[in-house]
Structures are given as structure tokens and as C-alpha cells.
């Protein structure tokens, strides 16, 4: 039986051994996994680590500010903040296939890292917060190809040309263990307890084409939903909760106007590792309150539906 304190000490020794005096670049997504990986690696090698936070414009409301203030303010870590919204949205224009979205976003992330690594005079390693479930959902145990349900963009190695080795200290861990490690490392509780957020971000919560306008609309609806969940004291009882913006328009009525706007889907599930999930059973009052707020406050949405599908057969994300 091992403790988190022992795991921390062991991983720090392993990272030092692997990296030696060389430089590491770490992609921060704002999620728990990459944050814990960055803090652990920083503890191991200090200034040899540079974090790169790529704002792809597919983040939730306020997320970029939170990440920058935690890492620059609280930890005083070298952090490169790349504003790449235009580049990502330009590349996503016209793309509707979920796997094509993921592949483009994953490849563009790697390009951005590559460029930033060059800008800081080169790095020998790329650090990632890959977890055990990411590893097993993307590749089979035998190393041969298996059925890929979704190509998680942070798994699967790097293109040849990158010439960076991977540092992935969380590869054996499940989410609850990563959270325990985060607490062990002293990360602030609101950060440690955050719901998982996928690397491709809002792009896979907007079925159909991803536009700036759709992202802005979704951010507003999502913020209202999460605000109500926090106010009801339900945030920590839920594994993941988020809004989805559908490409479908339906007819509604507001005052004496007919509306013809988009549908917002709400998702909330309980889970321990993301591999299976149950629907969170909100009360009817809670859901109708959220629906009313979203339709009243978010221009462009006139209907809200709740997703009652468990995983399996559904997945947690809609794409
Ligand atoms: P699904 O939708 O496959 O999601 O049931 C399981 C968990 O994985 C997250 N997820 C992703 N995370 N890159 C990520 O980093 C991805 O491409 C990706 N797709 C899904 C999802 O949010 C859930 O926690």
C-alpha cells in the first residue's frame, strides 16, 4: 500500500532522473490533470519547466484568467500565454465531423507547442497530464490497434518531427487519485475539485460548425447552468456538468414575438473515472429554473433540453 506522499516523492525522483538538466515544456489546459502535472514537475525541476497555456478560444467563461492567475500569481511559474483563438477558429471553419475537429485541434496544439518550444530556445521534453483512462480508451493493452471510440487529442504520441520525449507522470492514475495528489501538492481546493474539461473544449460541445458566435452563446448558457449548480450546492456531487449548443433551430415565442433560435442541451453525470456514467437526477424545479434563465438571458437560444442518457450507451460529451 502506498500513500500520495510516497507517490509524490517517487515521481519527483523519476522526473529528475528522466529529465536531468534538460528543459521541459508543459501544456496547460486549465484542467486538473495538466495543472497537477505542472505543479509536480515544477517541484521536481523548478525553472527547467516552462508552461504553455494555449487559449484556443474554446474555453469556458473566465477560464483563461483563472489559469494565468493561478500559475503566474500563486506559483510564480514561467508561463507562456498563447492567444490562438483566431488560428483555431479559422481552421475549424466549415468542419463538422467530430473526429476532424479533434484531429485539427490536436495537430494545431502540437504546432503551437513546437513554435513556443523554439521561441524559448528549444525543449527536450513535452509534459502532459495524461491519465490512465485516457491511455486505455485510446489504445489497447497489447499495443495493437483497437476500436477507437474517440481520439483523445492528448494521447497517442507525437509526430516524428517534434523530437521531444514525453513526461507523463500521471499515466498510472485515475481522476480521484490525481485530485488526491493535487491536494498533497497544495493546489487550491476549487482547482482540485474542478470538473474535467476536454482538450478540444467547446468545439466538441457544438455539434456542426464551430463559430465565434456559437462559442460565445454556449459560454453564456454554460456559465448560467454552472452558476445554478454551485448555488444549489450540487457541484461536488457531479462528475461533469455542461451545456451543449445544437445546430438545430426550433420555433418559440417570447412576449408577442415568434422566435426561431437554437436548442441548448444540458448534461450532468456522476462517475468515478469517466469510463461509465450515470445521469445526475436534478429536480424538475431546478431544471426548469435553469431553462428559464438560459432562454431569458442568452440571445440565440429559445429551447433547453436535458440529456437523460447514461454511458454506455451514450458518451459523456456529445461528440
Ligand atoms: P466521453 O465523451 O468519451 O468522455 O464519454 C470521457 C471523458 O473524457 C473527456 N474527453 C476528452 N478529454 N480530450 C480530452 O482531453 C478529448 O478529446 C476528450 N474527449 C472526451 C470527457 O470530457 C469526459 O471527462
30 CB less than 6 Å from ligand 1? no
Q: How many helices (H) and strands (E) does the chain have?
A: 10, 9
Positions in the chain whose pLDDT score sits under 70: 137-163
Give the whole-angstrom CA distance, residue 188 versus residue 181: 12
- Total residues belonging to the chain: 319
Question: Separation of 265 CA from ligand 1 center, angstroms?
Answer: 17
Q: Confirm or reject: Cβ of 153 under 6 Å from ligand 1.
A: yes
- pTM, rounded to two decimals: 0.88
Ligand 1: which of 198, 267, 314 to mutate, most ligand atoms within 8 Å of CB? 198
Residue 31 known to bind ligand: yes
Atom of ligand 1 nearest to the CA of 317: 2
How far is 65 from 278, CA to CA, in rounded Å? 32
Equal fold, 4-192 vs 211-306: no
The answer, yes or no, to whether any atom of ligand 1 lies below 6 A from the CB of 199, is yes
Residue-wise DSSP of 75-117 = S---EEEEE-HHHHHHHHTT---HHHHHHHHHHHHHHHHHHHH
Could you tell me if the CB of 273 is within 6 A of ligand 1?
no
198 close to ligand 1 (CB < 6 Angstrom): yes
Residues 148, 138: Cα–Cα separation, whole Å: 6
Fold of 4-192: Rossmann fold (3.40.50)
Question: What is the domain partition of the chain in residue ranges?
Answer: 4-192, 211-306
Q: Which of 152, 168, 203 to mutate to test the pocket of ligand 1 (most atoms within 8 A of CB)?
A: 152
Q: For residue range 193-236, what is the model confidence (pLDDT) as tens digits?
A: 999 999 899 999 999 999 999 999 999 999 999 999 999 999 99
Whole-number pLDDT of residue 178: 95
Cβ atoms of 123 and 25 closer than 8 Å:
yes
From ligand 1's centre to the CA of 42, what distance in Å? 26
Residue 32, marked binder: yes
Pick the CATH number of 211-306 from 3.40.50.300, 2.30.30.40, 3.30.300.10, 3.40.190.80: 3.30.300.10
Is the minimum distance from the CB of 133 to ligand 1 under 6 angstroms?
A: no
The kind and range of the H/E element at 292 are: helix 284-297
Amino acid at each position: 500500500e502506498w500513500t500520495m506522499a510516497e507517490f509524490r516523492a517517487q515521481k519527483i525522483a523519476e522526473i529528475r532522473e528522466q529529465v536531468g538538466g534538460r528543459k521541459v515544456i508543459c501544456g496547460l489546459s486549465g484542467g486538473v490533470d495538466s495543472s497537477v502535472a505542472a505543479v509536480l514537475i515544477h517541484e521536481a525541476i523548478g525553472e527547467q519547466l516552462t508552461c504553455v497555456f494555449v487559449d484556443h478560444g474554446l474555453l469556458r467563461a473566465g477560464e483563461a484568467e483563472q489559469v494565468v492567475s493561478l500559475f503566474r500569481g500563486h506559483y510564480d511559474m514561467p508561463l507562456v500565454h498563447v492567444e490562438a483563438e483566431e488560428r483555431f477558429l479559422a481552421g475549424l471553419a466549415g468542419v463538422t465531423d467530430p473526429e476532424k475537429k479533434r484531429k485539427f485541434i490536436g495537430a494545431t496544439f502540437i504546432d503551437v507547442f513546437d513554435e513556443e518550444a523554439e521561441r524559448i530556445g528549444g525543449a527536450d521534453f513535452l509534459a502532459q497530464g495524461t491519465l490512465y483512462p485516457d491511455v486505455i480508451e485510446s489504445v489497447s493493452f497489447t499495443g495493437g490497434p483497437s476500436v477507437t471510440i474517440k481520439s483523445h487529442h492528448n494521447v497517442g504520441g507525437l509526430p516524428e518531427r517534434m523530437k521531444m520525449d514525453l513526461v507523463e507522470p500521471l499515466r498510472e492514475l485515475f481522476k480521484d487519485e490525481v485530485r488526491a495528489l493535487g491536494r498533497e501538492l497544495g493546489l487550491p481546493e476549487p482547482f482540485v475539485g474542478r470538473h474535467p474539461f476536454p482538450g478540444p473544449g467547446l468545439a466538441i460541445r457544438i455539434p456542426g460548425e464551430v463559430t465565434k458566435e456559437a462559442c460565445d452563446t454556449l459560454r453564456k448558457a454554460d456559465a448560467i447552468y454552472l452558476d445554478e449548480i454551485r448555488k444549489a450546492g450540487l457541484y461536488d456531487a457531479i462528475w461533469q456538468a455542461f451545456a451543449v449548443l445544437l445546430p438545430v433551430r426550433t420555433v418559440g415565442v417570447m412576449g408577442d414575438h415568434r422566435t426561431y433560435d437554437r436548442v441548448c442541451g444540458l448534461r450532468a453525470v456522476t462517475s468515478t473515472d469517466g469510463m461509465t456514467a450515470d445521469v445526475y437526477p436534478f429536480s424538475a424545479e431546478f431544471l426548469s429554473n435553469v431553462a428559464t434563465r438560459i432562454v431569458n438571458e442568452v440571445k440565440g437560444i429559445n429551447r433547453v433540453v436535458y440529456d437523460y442518457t447514461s454511458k454506455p450507451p451514450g458518451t459523456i460529451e456529445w461528440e
